[in-house]
Amino acid sequence: MDQAAVIDHQYVIAAYTVTWVLQLGYLAWLGFKWRAEKRAAERRTRVAR
Amino acid sequence: MRPRTKPELFPAQCAGIESAEMKKAAISLYVVVTIALMVWGFYQAMYVAPSDAMQGEISRIIYYHVPNASVAFVFFAVNLIGSIGFLAARRNNPDRAQLFDAWALSGAEVGLIFCTVVLTTGPLWGRRAWGIWWTWDPRLTTTLVLWLIYVSYLLLRRFAAGTQMQTLAAVLGIFGALDVPIVYMSNRWWRTQHPAPVFGGAPGSGMAASMLHPFLWNMLAWFCWGVLVLGLRYRVERKHQENAAEEAREALESRA
Amino acid sequence: MPRALWTHLVKDLRIELRTLDAFVSMLFFSLLVVVLFSIAFDPHGDFSREIAGGVLSVATMFASVSALNQAWSREIRHQVMDAQRMTPAPGAELYLAKVIANFLFVSVVQIILAPLFLIFYNLHIQGQGWLLALVLPLGTWALVANGVFFAALSIRSRNRELLLSLILFPIFIPALLAMVRATTNILTGESDPILWMKLLLGYDIIFTTVSLLLFDVIFHAE
């Protein structure tokens, strides 16, 4: 029975890991996108000047 | 020389600066509170809540799987509202229509992330609880279908040409949202392998108090997190819209 | 029947009946799919009844998509969108006419295919066979109503034909499920198909209504 509990725990950890990889991965992607937009805006104002 | 930004001399500008700073402070506070809630929720889920009598450890799924599912559905509803709002506003109030479109896209994309979490954590639980990764029962199937629909929504936004893209996407968003009630009802209409609804289901459902509090904390925490991510996505999209509009304006002006 | 609707319908039927291009390719494609599935899944006895519903539905789906990809090609070639914009007739009538026309074509294909199907799969229908005459049209309508709408939606996109399938299939899945379950229940006689038929009917009503309401929005999107 103890072995089962250990494996259960591993599954829970795996689930939380997957959850946070997805969530934080998305935030990271969003960060890159923000940077790209900022750079595009800066390029434009530089060109305009 | 007295500094030019004395409040009595330029009240409007100072009020603007102050409110922008206040806004930043409020957002920072919100982020801190959200992170605190997430940590608290995790603590509640893993250490305070008891194991289920029958399922054991893996029953803790309700502290992340269910909240993520709820947030996903709510955000798909945000997409619906954004889509409808865009269609309603695009003729008379194009600026407001852009706002709606940004919300629509954000709702779809962030909702999709949360839906992906649901579809990956669910099988991890199912494998342990029932011995199977997947089954084609109505609830799982329709959640997968929902995921597919919003992927197709994002693909339409990528493939469709130029200015009509937002209109087409808004229409598809409405179509996609029609699936959401089917998902919700499916758990009640058909006998299913997915656990019967815990709240408001048949007698014998409902959650033990010792589990209810951690559950509610986690619901709150995940919703706060979801709203944070949604807000960030919205902000990025608005920036993108600004850039696109500026580029279009410059292209027109340089030709003239 | 509203005049514009009738005019569009008669026009589409007439043009198609002249060459029967789309119809023949649809028919042949469905036949191919049926044969391919038979080779892939080797139907025999009870097993054939279990999968027949699925095979028929998927065959209909693939065959319809090949027709739906061409659904608006004439309109695109001859600038009908602009002409439509100038008329007072609502675009919804053009849409409905196209749906009815395509529905008739696919249904005829199904009627021709059904006896072949019974033969290839040696089907002895255990349940109430006449219900199939309700289930199949309901399922076909679901496919065609949405298909024509999304075909119009993807007219000006790159990857137009691929996009049609990508958008249509996920939204069609609930109807596909209902169609397959209902058909299988009728063929095997194991359980009551009525619930699935009600779902299919509800689906048809909801999506046809929404399509009619929103057709002008997408047809004239700028």
Q: Report CA-CA distances (Å) from B240 to B103, B233, C102.
A: 13, 11, 41
Q: Enumerate neighbours of A (3 or more CB pairs within 8 A).
A: B
Q: What does the pLDDT read at residue B39?
A: 93
Residue A2 located in a structural domain = no
Give the span between the Cα atoms of B104 and B85, in whole angstroms: 9
What is the reported pLDDT for B62? 87
Nearby residues of B78 by Cβ (< 8 Å), 6 or more positions away: B103, B104, B106, B107, B111, B230
Interface with B, mutate which of A26, A29, A46 (most B CBs under 10 A): A26
Contacts of B74 (CB under 8 A, 6+ apart): B111, B223, B226
Q: Give the span between the Cα atoms of C203 and C197, in whole angstroms.
A: 10
**3-class DSSP assignment, residue B195:** coil
Q: Would A11 be classed as within a structural domain?
A: no
Output the pLDDT for position C23.
Answer: 84
Q: In the predicted model, what is the mean pLDDT of residues C185-205? A: 87
In whole angstroms, what is the distance from residue B34 CA to residue C116 CA? 63
The total number of structural domains in chain A stands at: 1
Share of chain B above pLDDT 70, in %: 82
Q: Which helix or strand (DSSP H or E) is residue B204 part of? A: none
State residue B86's pLDDT score: 96
Of C169, C174, C222, the CB nearest to B182: C174
- Structural domain including C88 reads 3-219
Please report which helix (H) or strand (E) contains residue C163, including its range: helix C160-188
Beta bridge partners of B52: B56
Burial letters C97-122, b for 16+ CB under 10 A, else e? bbbbbbbbbbbebbeebeeebeebbe
* CA dihedral for C47, C107, C171, C207, sign (positive or negative): negative
The answer to whether B117 contacts chain A (CB < 8 Å) is: yes
| Interface confidence (ipTM) of the complex | 0.90
Q: Is B151 on the interface with C (CB under 8 A)?
A: yes
Query: What's the pLDDT at B187?
Result: 43
Of the pLDDT bands very low, low, confident and very high (cuts 50, 70, 90), residue C86 is: confident
Higher pLDDT: C207 or C62? It is: C207
Question: Above pLDDT 90, what percent of chain B?
Answer: 50
pLDDT for residue B205: 52
Q: Do B145 and C153 touch (CB under 8 A)?
A: no
Which two three-digit tokens encode residue C160?
């137009």
**Residue where the block lists tokens 């839906």:** B115
Per-residue pLDDT of B37-72, as tens digits, reads 999 999 988 888 888 777 788 888 889 999 999 999
Q: How far apart are CA A10 and CA C54, in angstroms?
A: 39
d(CA A6, CA A19): 20
The answer to whether chain B touches chain A by having 3 or more C-beta pairs less than 8 angstroms apart is: yes
SS3 B52: strand
Contact B82, B63 (CB under 8 A): no
pLDDT value, residue B203: 46
**Rounded (10°) angle between helices B65-89 and B209-255:** 30
Q: What is the pLDDT of residues B169-196, one digit of tens each?
A: 999 999 988 876 765 554 445 545 466 5
> Which of B155, B163, B167 has its CB closest to that of C218?
B167
- Residue in B closest to A25 by C-alpha: B113
pLDDT digits (tens, 9 = 90+) for C93-119: 999 999 999 999 999 988 888 888 888
Alpha-carbon gap, residue B18 to B68, rounded angstroms: 36
CB contact under 8 Å between A41 and B243, yes or no, is yes
Mean pLDDT of C67-96: 84
Q: Give the model's confidence band at B204: pLDDT under 50 very low, under 70 low, under 90 confident, else very high.
A: very low
Contact B164 C222 (CB under 8 A): yes
Residues on chain C touching B182 (C-beta within 8 angstroms): 174
Structure tokens at B161: 């040409």
> Using CA atoms, how far apart are residues C96 and C145, in angstroms rounded to an integer?
8
* Separation of alpha carbons B229 and B1, rounded Å: 46
Q: Which residues of B touch C210 (CB under 8 A)?
A: 174-175, 178
> For residue B55, which phi and psi values (nearest 5 degrees)?
-90, -25
For residue C48, pLDDT beyond 60: yes
Residue C81 reports pLDDT greater than 60? yes
Write out pLDDT tens, residues C203-216: 999 999 999 999 98
Per-residue model confidence as pLDDT tens digits over A5-38:
888 889 999 999 999 999 999 999 999 999 999 9
Q: How far apart are CA C208 and CA C214, in angstroms?
A: 10
Whether C74 has a pLDDT exceeding 50, the answer reads: yes
Is A35 contained in some domain? yes
Torsion of CA A13, A16, A19, A24, to 10 degrees: -100
Contact: A30, B61; criterion CB under 8 Å: no
Which of B142, B155, B182 is closest, CB to CB, to C166? B155
Q: Can you tell me the distance from the alpha carbon of C72 to that of C83, in angstroms, rounded to the nearest whole number?
A: 14
pLDDT confidence of residue B1: 52
Interface test mutation site (partner A, options B44, B64, B66, max chain A beta carbons within 10 A): B64
Rounded to an integer, what distance in angstroms lies between the CA atom of residue A27 and that of residue A40? Answer: 20
For C134, other C-beta atoms within 10 Å of its C-beta total 16
Q: Find the mean pLDDT for residues C39-55.
A: 82
Mean pLDDT value of segment C149-155: 90
Give me the pLDDT at residue B201, please.
45
**SS3 state at B78:** helix
pLDDT, chain B, mean: 84
Q: How many domains does chain C have?
A: 1
Task: Render pLDDT for B80-137 as a digit per residue (tens, 0 to 9).
Answer: 999 999 999 998 999 999 999 999 999 999 999 999 999 999 999 988 888 899 887 7
pLDDT of residue B5: 53
Contact B221, B38 (CB under 8 A): yes
User: Once rounded to an integer, what is the mean pLDDT over residues C60-77?
Assistant: 86
What average pLDDT does the structure give for chain C? 87
- At B92, the amino acid letter reads N
CB atoms near residue B6 (< 10 Å): 10
B127 interfaces chain A, CB cutoff of 8 Å: yes
> E strands within chain C?
none
**Chains A and C touching, counted as 3 or more CB pairs less than 8 Å apart:** no
Q: Does the beta-carbon distance from C206 to B178 stay under 8 Å?
A: yes
Q: Domain span at residue A37?
A: 20-49
Instruction: Give B-chain residues touching C217 at CB under 8 angstroms.
Output: 87, 167, 171
**pLDDT reading at B142 higher than 80:** no
Instruction: Write down the pTM of the prediction.
Output: 0.86
